[in-house]
Amino acid sequence: MSARPNATERRRLEVEAPPAAGRLDAWLAIKLPDLSRSRAAALIAAGQVRVNGVVARKSHRPEPGEIVEVEIPPAEPTDVRAEPLPLAIVFEDRDFVVVDKPAGLVVHPAAGHASGTLVNALLFHVQDLSGIGGVLRPGIVHRLDRDTSGLMLVAKNDAAHRKLSAALKSREIRRRYLVACWGHLREDVVEVDGPIGRARVDRKRMAVVPGGRTARTRLRRLERWRSADLLRAELETGRTHQIRVHLAWIGHPVVGDRVYGKGREGGMGGTSAAWSRELARRVPRQFLHAAELELEHPRTGEKLRFTAPLPPDLAAAAEWARGASGG
């Protein structure tokens, strides 16, 4: 692995007239886009910001003509260990990375998964992280479930992380998935609008519940199989398990979903019963893949589009389903 930057960076700024923000931490976050407001506040608290040569307080309000000097120490090493795990990098520049996450890979280290995660792999493969919040770590912009494969955005610095996260929140990033569901949608295009929150009985599950967070998913049928559909699902919002919960709610759970669609193939009757059992056998996990991302580059504004084909496990199941459906 290449060396990380280890020199303290020094910035010298003159306050414009009139200042563009109130408190010093907010002003610094505007003037230095690579610093978040919380990071600027931490530097002020650590005595690394001076105004006219005097150590500043966070409550200080910049005045026109003042000279602000900032010392930005190198990002501190994270306590997460870099691991040489296989990782498919679709795109990388100095601001962010797009990875094609395999199924079975947990995103963040947590209880029961202290190692072997996407973050461990990123720390090994990405050589020029400038860190998030003063820590040498990747900035996960959005997550995928452990058993969902496909494209993920990862920021390499605070400025990119803030811009990409804001774009995601304002629905400027388009995320499209390939998903197989049991049964057939009533129409080729369906929009599902149902608020999602914790299930009343099992708090580990999500459900469409009154008072839940707004959640909207657009579904388009791409292929009609014997007793299942292959869909393109586009997220308008990004709630936990959103596609899985919405499809289960409208009576068409994701093929292979052990939480929201377990045993659904057993309900198929007639000539579809054997076909459904065989498809279920061939799908090793939930048939859900993040296949497409569209966004504007956080630094240049360039419009970008990334795609990832179905991985071999789902591609093989889909090929069987087409052939066995007569299509």
Q: What is the pLDDT of residues 184-197, one digit of tens each?
A: 999 999 999 999 99
pLDDT value of residue 102:
96
- Name residue 180's beta-bridge partners: 230
Q: Where are the alpha helices (DSSP H) in 96-170?
A: 118-125, 158-169
Q: Dump strand ranges (E) for the chain.
A: 9-14, 49-51, 54-55, 67-72, 76-77, 88-92, 96-101, 135-136, 139-140, 149-155, 174-182, 189-193, 196-198, 206-208, 216-224, 228-235, 288-296, 303-307
What pLDDT digit, counting tens, does each position of 115-141 carry?
899 999 999 999 888 777 667 678 899
What's the CA gap between 264 and 9, in Å, rounded? 58
Element (H, E) at 204: none
The pLDDT assigned to 276 comes to 93
pLDDT value at residue 139: 87
What per-residue confidence (pLDDT) applies to 2? Answer: 37
* Tens digit of each residue's pLDDT (9 = 90 or more) over 70-88: 888 776 777 788 899 999 9
Please report the pLDDT score of residue 1 as a whole number: 38
Active site (annotated) includes residue 145 = yes
pLDDT at 263: 74
Which residues in the chain show pLDDT less than 50?
A: 1-5
pLDDT at 4: 46
Q: Enter the pTM of the model.
A: 0.81
255, 261 contact by CB (below 8 A): yes
How many beta carbons lie within 10 A of that of residue 44, not counting itself?
A: 23
Annotated active-site residue in 25, 95, 100, 145: 145
Tokens of 86: 């296989």
CA distance 193 to 199: 17
Instruction: Return the pLDDT at 23.
Output: 87
